[in-house]
Copies of this chain bind each other. A is one copy, B any other.
Amino acid sequence: MATVKKLINDPQTVVAESVEGFGLAHADLVAVHTDPLYVARAGGARAGKVGLVSGGGSGHEPLHAGFVGLGMLDAAVPGAMFTSPTPDQIAPALQAADAGAGVLAIVKNYTGDVLNFETAAELADAEGVTVRSVVVNDDVAVEDSLYTAGRRGVAGTVAVEKIAGAAAERGDDLDAVVAVAEKVIANVRSMGVALTACTVPHAGKPSFDLPEDEIEIGIGIHGEPGRHRIPLASADEITEMLLTAVADDLVLAPGEKVLLFVNGMGGTPASELYVVYRRARALLSERGVEVTRSLVGNYVTSLEMQGASVTVLRLDEELTALWDAPVHTAALRW
């Protein structure tokens, strides 16, 4: 008997059942390993290719398992809801992704994720796997946060995984893939807004309280506090707050080219994301910045939270070509 209004059977089994369903639906792309739980590419690692692994708490789908496949990740490690995966889970995924050229771990900047990936890298190293890590910290909202020292890692992670994945796929060695990933991290910034909270199944109640006439600017993807709460505002006003913070932090100059990514937090209709996109694009245009690539949709979610984030990635020819390279995953495909 369900006790929280969700399409689940049991808060204790929701992640395992969901990942099992994901594996069944996408058996052409992925293989699900259940003990410990991780998702790898169907067919395994391609000899000589640098392996890419990411992971983190569940509840942010399609991140990360939705990005396992050609041109992106080799393995993804889903933790419990909003909870870091354990080192014992991560280490086998790192080993599975190793095809002799080493592995890059892409870690979002949450203390638990960073620590557990470090420990897992040591475990994998003891088995002869060379592991390098990058930490994504694109959220400009706040320095230090509930689960983070420094800035949080949010939707920019998609760009890191896509572009580093393309670099690995074209045959770059581990140093080069790390360098590309660091280049993306240096040039990507995000900020989000929450209109509503979300409910983690085992908690059974919303992760924070947000009054009916207030929204939170700079929200974290686990509901961590943002910059401030403000009265309900128009989409154009909200978008300007987000885009201005992001573009200012990036120090975007007229004439630059960018990827504009409007990410849904899970419970926001697609129609609203395009309203945000429209305004963000106009604001960039006013700054003389050209949007040459776009992504709009639910890619890094917070369960059913209503809200969105705006991510901008400064592009050059190399990053554009790697963004455009073929990708064949459950959530991103071209």
For window 1-52 of A, CB contacts with B under 8 Å fall at 1-3, 5-10, 14-15, 17-22, 24-26
A269-B303, A301-B269 known; A20 and B58 CB under 8 Å?
no
* Binary B-proximity of A166-193 (CB < 8 A = 1, otherwise 0): 0000000000000000000000000001
Is the pair B25, A294 in contact by a Cβ cutoff of 8 Å? yes
Query: A149 at interface (Cβ–Cβ under 8 A)?
Result: no
Q: Does A274 contact B (CB under 8 A)?
A: yes
For the complex formed by this chain, how many copies does it contain in all?
A: 2
Q: Give A214's nearest chain B residue, CB to CB.
A: B5
- Selected contact of A8 from candidates B25, B58, B272, CB within 8 Å: B272
CA distance A277 to B298 in the complex (A): 19
Q: Are B304 and A234 closer than 8 Å at their CB atoms? A: no
A22 to chain B, nearest CB (A): 5
> What's the nearest-Cβ distance from chain B to residue A202, in Å?
13
User: Whole-angstrom distance between the alpha carbons of A66 and B266 in the complex?
Assistant: 18
Could you say which residues of chain B place their CB within 8 Å of the CB of A307?
7
A304, B268: Cβ atoms closer than 8 Å: yes
Contact B238 A272 (CB under 8 A): no
Chain B residues with Cβ below 8 Å from A233 are: 1-2
Q: Does A135 lie at the interface of the complex (its beta carbon under 8 Å from any beta carbon of B)?
A: no
Does A249 count as interface, using CB distance less than 8 angstroms? no
User: Are the CB atoms of B308 and A275 closer together than 8 Å?
Assistant: no
A273 to B17, CA, bound (A): 10
CB closest residue in chain B, given A278:
B21
Residues of chain A in range 215-247 having any CB-CB distance to chain B below 8 Å: 215, 232-236, 238
Q: Is A163 part of the contact surface with B, judged by Cβ < 8 Å?
A: no
Given A25-B277, A278-B20, also A7-B270 (CB < 8 A): no
**Could you tell me the distance between the alpha carbons of A283 and B209 in the complex, rounded to whole angstroms?**
39
Whether A277 contacts B7 by the Cβ 8 Å rule is no
A268 to B198, CA, bound (A): 11
Q: Once bound together, how far apart are the Cα atoms of A303 and B268, in whole Å? A: 8
Q: Does A195 contact B (CB under 8 A)?
A: yes
Are A9 and B236 touching (Cβ within 8 A)? Answer: yes
Which 3 A-B pairs give the minimum distances between C-beta atoms? Answer: A21-B278, A21-B274, A7-B272
Q: Which A residues are within 8 Å of any B CB, using their own CB?
A: 1-3, 5-10, 14-15, 17-22, 24-26, 58-59, 61-62, 66, 193, 195-196, 212-213, 215, 232-236, 238, 266-279, 281, 291, 294, 296, 298, 301, 303-304, 306-308, 333-334
